[in-house]
Amino acid sequence: MSAARLVIDALTAVSVRDGNRFILRNVSLKVAIGEVHGIVGESGAGKSTIAKAILGIIPSQVKLTGGRIDFEGLDLLSLSSTALRAVLGRDIALIAQDPSTALNPARRIEAQLTDGLRLKRGLSASEARLRAGALLEEVQIRDPMRVLHSYPHQLSGGMRQRVLIAAAFALQPKLVIADEPTTALDVTVQKQILKLIRSLQERHGTSVLFVSHDLGVVAKICDHVSVLYMGKVMEQATTAELLTAPRHPYTQALLRANPRYDAPETGLQPIPPGLIAALRAEIAAFDARMAARGYPDG
């Protein structure tokens, strides 16, 4: 594997609102230079909390109680807000899940693409406009000048998502966090967006942390995968290994629960209740061990 660009080590978080209930449990993973690393899990597994911790936007009801997030030698959790803002956008960027909320409905696309180029790269207004048009061409948007002068509501969902991808890659960041970027799209557009992200990632040598609840999506774009359940990493492997020879019973159950388009007669196989009970017991034992060591209050 290439050298690591992002290292998350024993990241632990609790929900203050829910009596310091653990929501991340010693999460550790590495994203190598130039790879796409997927985090997959059910809703509420803690996937987006990891992304928010990297970006420094953890909500007030969540408290990080341990761990480290190392980005090329920088401990992101120890940076001041000013220092972190200097890194975000320039070196770390986000492709949000929902472009209808990520894009400002009152501003034209041009303004939303050029702000970062002017503030972070020092381009003039005309230089930033030319670069924004080139970015839209790079994400395969036809008639980029028309789109630059459009408002988000005047674009289709797929085009809005392409604008978000263009914004994320605008400053040629070293790491892009893609937080379920295809959830709101139909299957045809989803395939195009995944192909586009992969193409840009390979062209620029960018590392991508790809968050998803869909194993089928992860299989199409990721090199390595971390499987998350209730804030705990159950298994990590290359995508090929995970799909062909999963080791953890939870991963095996997730794969069996996935629809088989090549064998529709098999039907859906829900995760067995006995496995869920065993997993919850494993989580409870972990929580007890942490409590004995003085966490989360220590």
Q: How far is CA 10 from CA 20, 28, 234, in A?
A: 17, 5, 14
Of 217, 96, 112, residue with least CA distance to 170: 112
Which pLDDT does position 230 carry in this prediction?
95
Q: How far is CA 93 from CA 146, 169, 238, 247, in A?
A: 25, 7, 24, 33
Tokens representing residue 216 in the block: 């089928």
CB 178 within 8 A of CB 208: yes
The DSSP bridge partners found for residue 211 are 39, 179
Distance of alpha carbon 8 from alpha carbon 58, whole angstroms: 15
Provide block-wise average pLDDT over 10 residues at a time, the chain (298 residues): 88 91 95 96 92 94 94 94 91 90 94 92 93 94 94 93 94 94 83 93 95 91 96 96 95 84 69 94 91 69
| Residue-by-residue DSSP string for 182-208 | TTTS-HHHHHHHHHHHHHHHHHHT-EE
Which pLDDT does position 298 carry in this prediction?
43
Domains and CATH numbers, the chain: 4-246 (3.40.50.300)
* Sole residue written with tokens 């991808």: 165
Whole-prediction pTM value? 0.92
CB 233 within 8 A of CB 227: yes
CB 210 within 8 A of CB 37: yes
Distance of alpha carbon 144 from alpha carbon 162, whole angstroms: 11
The helix-helix angle for 125-138 and 109-121 (nearest 10°) equals 120
Distance of alpha carbon 97 from alpha carbon 200, whole angstroms: 18
